[in-house]
């Protein structure tokens, strides 16, 4: 929500804020009001546009008023105000740094080669002897632990491990032969 602007900056808001600060905290308004010009200059240096500078200045002043009214113990109000302003600017930079993807920006990596590799591997598994093929198909289906495969097949764990080792060795040979043939 934008505040009414006079002379390119929302001075009406500042006047209202100074009045509110004076009414809410008569003992602290004399410390906060003189900071406004410094905060304004700092906000302009930190922001790319004057509108952004106005926004973070207003947010900072409102935050300061709320904290002071709540009774926050602030020893160095100037440093606290500048740090609050810098933190607001950083938050805006982070928010603006996130780039949204548009439909025309989406790029899909071609997966044809990956599909060919998968197809070659599945063909090589189909060429294995029956005992090895059955165990490798279980690995492809997601049973990656030899103990899981042994429990499902009823085979001893050592037998499963040796068959899987022989199957993997044979797969490497078959796939290496396919690559040298092409």
Q: Over the stretch 125-165, which tens digit does the pLDDT of each residue have?
A: 999 999 999 999 998 888 778 899 999 999 999 999 999 99
Instruction: Specify the length of the chain in residues.
Output: 182
The pLDDT score that the predictor gives to residue 16 is 65
The pLDDT score that the predictor gives to residue 8 is 46
The 8-class DSSP code of residue 128 comes to S
| HSE of 98, CA atoms in CB hemisphere, 13 A | 6
The pLDDT score that the predictor gives to residue 132 is 92
Alpha carbons 53 and 169: distance in angstroms, whole number: 66
The pLDDT score that the predictor gives to residue 135 is 92
- Domain residue extents for the chain: 11-101, 112-181
On whether the 11-101 domain is CATH 1.10.1740, my answer is yes
Tens digits of residue pLDDT in 51-81: 888 889 888 888 888 887 788 787 888 898 9
The pLDDT score that the predictor gives to residue 6 is 41
Q: What is the DSSP string of 160-177?
A: HHHHHHHHHHHHHHHHHH
Domain made up of 112-181: CATH architecture: Orthogonal Bundle (1.10)
Q: Per the confidence metrics, is the pTM higher than 0.85?
A: no
Per the CB < 8 A criterion, the answer to whether 4 and 12 are in contact is: yes
Q: 17: part of which helix (H) or strand (E)?
A: helix 11-24
- How far, rounded to the nearest angstrom, does the alpha carbon of residue 23 sit from its chain's CA centroid? 43
Q: Where are the alpha helices (DSSP H) in 47-156?
A: 50-69, 77-97, 112-126, 130-140, 146-153
- Non-local (6+) Cβ contacts of 73 within 8 A are none
Handedness of CA 127, 133, 139, 140 (dihedral sign): positive
Tens digits of residue pLDDT in 25-41: 666 566 777 888 898 89
In this structure, how many other beta carbons lie within 10 angstroms of the beta carbon of residue 22?
A: 15
């Amino acid at each position: 929500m934008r505040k009414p602007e006079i002379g390119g900056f929302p001075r009406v808001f500042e006047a209202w804020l100074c009045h509110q600060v004076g009414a809410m905290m008569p003992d602290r308004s004399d410390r906060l009001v003189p900071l406004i010009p410094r905060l304004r200059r700092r906000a302009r240096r930190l922001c790319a546009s004057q509108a952004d500078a106005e926004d973070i200045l207003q947010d900072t002043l409102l935050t300061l008023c709320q904290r002071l009214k709540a009774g926050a113990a602030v020893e160095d109000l100037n440093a606290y105000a500048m740090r609050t302003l810098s933190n607001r600017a950083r938050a805006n930079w982070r928010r603006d740094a996130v780039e949204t993807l548009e439909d025309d920006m989406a790029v899909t990596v071609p997966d044809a080669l990956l599909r060919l590799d998968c197809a070659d591997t599945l063909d090589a598994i189909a060429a294995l002897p029956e005992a090895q093929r059955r165990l490798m198909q279980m690995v492809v289906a997601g049973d990656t632990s030899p103990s899981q495969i042994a429990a499902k097949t009823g085979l001893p764990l050592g037998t499963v491990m040796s068959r899987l080792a022989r199957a993997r060795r044979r797969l490497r040979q078959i796939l290496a032969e396919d690559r040298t043939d092409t």
